[in-house]
Amino acid sequence: MSTYIHQNTLGWFSIFRLGLVQACLGAVVVIMTSTLNRLMVVELSMAATVPGFLVGLHYAVQLSRPKWGLISDLENNRTKWINLGMLILGVGANLATLSLVLFNSNPFLAILLSIFAYTLIGLGVGASGTSLLALMAKHTSERRRPAAAMITWLMMIFGIAMTAGVVGALLDPYSFGLLLRIVAGLTVLTLIVSIVSTWKIENSLDKIEQKDGEKVPLLEELKSLWEHSKTRNFTIFVFLSMTAYFMQELILEPYAGIVFQYTPSETTSLSGMQNGGVFIGMLTVGILATALKLGTLKSWVQAGCFGSCFMLISIMLLGQFNSSFPLEFAVIGLGFFNGMFAVAAIGSMMSLAGSGSKSREGTRMGLWGAAQAIAAGFGGLLGTILVDLLQVANLSPVNAYGMVFSLEAGLFALAALLASTSITFNKNYGKNIAIPGE
């Protein structure tokens, strides 16, 4: 006879508060991966591989995510790691911005400082993000997980879009000193919001003690998880789809600046428009799939992937034929379908995190977070390397960027096909779930 343990779960207001932490993470990271990337390539005339390497480094450091997840499974103080991660992220962000000032006077020191800064950024994102997801996966009732994922990621995209738009406006006219002040103020504000948002949430939840002998080495835990077919197949899907998702991250703004002659302020605002599209795409899926019960997570993932494929081809063609059609519309469309794909994939991730014979939500989220980090770093770096190599091979910038966008479109199409076998749920999914007050 099965025994169901009724424990305190996260309510909607607590989920909203945790979503504020996601918004803070997105607000800081978007400046590091978009604005600083464009400044290095356009204003400092660096090869796109340089910021590509640095952003790839911050993703590589996030291979520590499974460890953070396992710690979250075995400890009862995830709030500490959430806020400590935000602090580390803030320090790294300020050092990364400071390094830009040093590139003209002391390039060697600037590179060393950049490497250290982006390492801190990766550690901060890994510690804070994984601990936050582990907290949500563990204490959000199963029926609420897809909606909770939508809410928190919508807030993250809102933070990204709002920050990109506001910073884009504040940076005009651009100067290094102004950028330093903006980043310093942003990181202090996000740390304060994170501390306030997580205050006493975890204390109100039931503590679940680990059984004796349950602690095992990380590699053994990962091996055990990998033997579970659902975990393994979904990990492969996450890697492929996120490689496609992140390939344009480091080349879209330089593409707009070089091919369409956009200014730093305009390209930063363009990034905000794209993330605004992501926000709308996520909201659309949330309303149609969660509230109106239209479609499945798998179908929304596939629709988002195929739509992203189409919009990437459109962005490529706009540059090829020098079309008068506004680039902004195509970028917003790309964001919309990216958001559609992302929220459905994240909902699947939250739902699948609790599958298996042992309670290892944090470790599974860490494994998939590591797969995403590897894919993001690999995809971003691959995109920049291909752009540089194609231009070395005497291709024009518009053709070099166009070929990379076409490759990314193909990967999205392949990911859509892979989703048909990697996203599956048990027939009894969502049953026997006790939600207090419902």
Task: Give the residue among 181, 398, 164 at the shortest CA–CA distance from 266.
Answer: 164
The token duo for 258 is 């070089």
Average pLDDT, stretch 217-246?
81
Interatomic CA distance for residues 159 and 139, integer angstroms: 24
Confidence bin at 336 (pLDDT 50/70/90): very high
Average pLDDT, stretch 288-310?
88
Average pLDDT, stretch 258-266?
85
pLDDT higher than 60, residue 436: no
Average pLDDT, stretch 39-59?
83
pLDDT of residue 18: 92
> How crowded is the C-beta side of 4, counted as CA atoms within 13 Å?
9
- Please check whether residue 114 is in contact with residue 99, taking contact to mean a CB–CB distance below 8 angstroms: yes
The token duo for 220 is 């053994």
Separation in Å, CA 316 to CA 252, 323, 351, 408? 10, 11, 35, 11
Interatomic CA distance for residues 398 and 405, integer angstroms: 11
Q: Lowest-pLDDT range, 363-372, 387-396, 411-420?
A: 363-372
The token duo for 225 is 């998880």
pLDDT digits (tens, 9 = 90+) for 100-122: 888 888 889 999 999 999 999 99
pLDDT of residue 356: 56
pLDDT of residue 171: 82
* Helix-strand-coil split of the chain, %, nearest 5: 80, 0, 20
pLDDT digits (tens, 9 = 90+) for 71-88: 777 776 788 889 999 999
Separation in Å, CA 1 to CA 61, 211, 336, 356, 357? 45, 21, 47, 19, 17
pLDDT of residue 2: 40
Interatomic CA distance for residues 97 and 278, integer angstroms: 26
pLDDT of residue 431: 39
Confidence bin at 216 (pLDDT 50/70/90): low
pLDDT of residue 47: 79
Task: Give the residue among 214, 270, 198, 213 at the shortest CA–CA distance from 30.
Answer: 270
pLDDT of residue 94: 96
The token duo for 214 is 């349950």
DSSP state letter for 207:
P
pLDDT of residue 283: 84
Interatomic CA distance for residues 237 and 423, integer angstroms: 9
Calculate Rg over the CA atoms of the chain: 21
- Please check whether residue 31 is in contact with residue 167, taking contact to mean a CB–CB distance below 8 angstroms: yes
Confidence bin at 392 (pLDDT 50/70/90): very high
pLDDT higher than 90, residue 312: yes
Q: Which helix (H) or strand (E) holds 116?
A: helix 107-139
The token duo for 309 is 């494929």
pLDDT of residue 62: 86
- Please check whether residue 47 is in contact with residue 250, taking contact to mean a CB–CB distance below 8 angstroms: no
pLDDT of residue 89: 96
Question: What is the CATH superfamily name and number for domain 12-199+219-422?
Answer: MFS general substrate transporter like domains (1.20.1250.20)
Confidence bin at 413 (pLDDT 50/70/90): very high
- Please check whether residue 89 is in contact with residue 125, taking contact to mean a CB–CB distance below 8 angstroms: yes
- Average pLDDT of the chain, as a whole number: 83
To the question of pTM greater than 0.85 for the whole model, the response is: no
Q: Lowest-pLDDT range, 89-103, 139-153, 159-173, 325-339?
A: 139-153
pLDDT of residue 163: 87
The token duo for 10 is 């996260």
DSSP state letter for 234:
H
Confidence bin at 207 (pLDDT 50/70/90): low
Q: How many CB atoms lie within 10 A of CB 359?
A: 15
Interatomic CA distance for residues 55 and 391, integer angstroms: 21
pLDDT higher than 80, residue 433: no
Average pLDDT, stretch 232-253?
88
Q: Lowest-pLDDT range, 122-126, 203-207, 292-296?
A: 203-207
Average pLDDT, stretch 257-274?
85
What's CA 437's distance to the chain center, in Å? 33
Interatomic CA distance for residues 410 and 417, integer angstroms: 11
pLDDT higher than 50, residue 248: yes
**Residue in the block written with tokens 């309303």:** 287
- Please check whether residue 117 is in contact with residue 58, taking contact to mean a CB–CB distance below 8 angstroms: no
The percentage of residues in the chain with a pLDDT greater than 70, rounded to a whole number, is 89
Interatomic CA distance for residues 222 and 225, integer angstroms: 5
- Please check whether residue 143 is in contact with residue 433, taking contact to mean a CB–CB distance below 8 angstroms: yes
Average pLDDT, stretch 297-326?
90
pLDDT higher than 80, residue 427: no
pLDDT digits (tens, 9 = 90+) for 6-27: 457 778 888 999 999 999 999 9
Confidence bin at 432 (pLDDT 50/70/90): very low
Interatomic CA distance for residues 71 and 44, integer angstroms: 41
pLDDT of residue 226: 76
DSSP state letter for 143:
G
Give the N- to C-terminal CA distance of the chain in Å, as an integer. 24
Confidence bin at 3 (pLDDT 50/70/90): very low
- Please tell me which of 183-197, 230-244, 355-369 the model is most confident about, judged by mean pLDDT: 183-197
Task: Give the residue among 244, 258, 242 at the shortest CA–CA distance from 387.
Answer: 258
- Please check whether residue 140 is in contact with residue 205, taking contact to mean a CB–CB distance below 8 angstroms: no
